[in-house]
Homo-oligomer: A and B are copies of this chain.
């Protein structure tokens, strides 16, 4: 069992519980410490509910890192999960890495691209492992999609469409008690972007991950639809991709009635693919001249990458927590290999890391800049 510490994720948070479920699912981690809130009482109460001994429930990330570092190596935290709002990503991540702790960090990686680049340097120097929780790449059928593109069977990729419609910010939620809405729409905590940071980065990451291409230019229409809101809650982006492909990215949080409907379509010379989170265990593979194929999680014909990230036989749906757990599991397998002096298989090493985090932050800054520009195409600078 890998010893896990958590920064953030106290009572009332959403993503902290998700991380804990994800870490727990495969029995590879033991939560042994946490600084769950900057409010000492909340942190203590949260730690108590989670069954932690009081002495390992801290009131600040600094305390957690310093105290844990002084514990015997066989006992101290090995991985620190940071699940705070965006403005509190960089500092604890830096401190953790600098003190030799491996880091699991929520997306988007930092508050700014500058921070992201600095963190990249720190992570490289630290020798520690780093994972950024772009959950959706943990789905077996997303792995399958990437492998299919990489196999060349679709031919050269020409088009990629990714869309991420949500509806939960259709009203002025931040005016009330919705804690999630509150920080996500606050420039002081969320950064320069709202929807583009919160979900646009997921869409961007999914597109680059599956196609293996990079965005080279973009042209964005960025909107704040709900009156009074401080950050964007809606956007659409024309994309030019490496290798001559092009595409569209849509991310909106004002599509009233939509849940969390991330969807990707990619088309090459000979065929295309379609995946959507609402039917996450299906990958549609389309062909110019023969029937569409329905590929399914757990089926015998899937790639080693898909199978590696599957727990049950075909027909037993794997959900969001399993996708999230795949990130934790692969991170654990990679660490265990390191610890035992072996090399993890490529399937285990396939989790999002610091490079994806830097590109995500670059996406945020470029897309917001493009949204403000009268110039049509903005070169993707990173």
A residues in contact (CB < 8 Å) with B: 1, 14, 17-18, 20-21, 24-27, 31, 50-51, 154-155, 158-159, 161, 163, 165-168, 170-171, 219, 221, 223, 225, 234, 236, 238, 240, 246-248, 250, 252, 254-261, 265, 267-272, 277-280, 284-296, 298-301, 311-322, 373-377
- Give, as a whole number of angstroms, the nearest-CB distance from A274 to chain B: 9
Q: A267, B321: Cβ atoms under 8 Å?
A: no
| Contact present for B257 and A286 (CB under 8 Å) | yes
Establish whether residues A316 and B315, one from each chain, have CB atoms under 8 Å apart when the complex forms: no
Whether the Cβ atoms of B312 and A301 lie closer than 8 Å is no
Give Cα A321 to B321, complex, Å. Answer: 9
Q: Which residue of B lies closest to A233 (CB)?
A: B158
Contact B278 A258 (CB under 8 A): no
Q: B219 contacts A221, CB within 8 Å?
A: yes
Chain B residue contacts of A290, Cβ below 8 A? 301
User: Which 9 residue pairs spanning A and B have beta carbons closest together?
Assistant: A257-B286, A260-B315, A259-B315, A319-B319, A316-B320, A291-B293, A292-B294, A317-B319, A259-B314
Closest B residue to A291 by CB, please name it: B293
Q: Which residues of B contact A373 (CB under 8 A)?
A: 376
Central interface residue in A247, A295, A321, by most chain B CB within 10 Å: A321
Q: Which residues of B contact A284 (CB under 8 A)?
A: 294
User: Smallest CB–CB gap between A277 and chain B, Å?
Assistant: 7
Distance of A255 Cα from B267 Cα, bound (Å): 5
Q: Hey, which chain B residues are within 8 Å of A223, CB to CB?
A: 246
Partner of A258 from the list B154, B269, B286 (CB cut-off 8 Å) is B286
Contact present for A257 and B238 (CB under 8 Å): no
Report the separation of the CA atoms of residues A191 and B147 in the bound assembly, to the nearest whole angstrom.
Answer: 41
Please name all residues of chain B whose beta carbon is closer than 8 Å to the beta carbon of A166 when the two chains form the complex: 315
Cα separation A87 to B30 with both chains bound (whole Å): 35
- Could you say which residues of chain B place their CB within 8 Å of the CB of A377? 374
With CB as the reference atom, state the residue of chain B lying closest to A1: B51
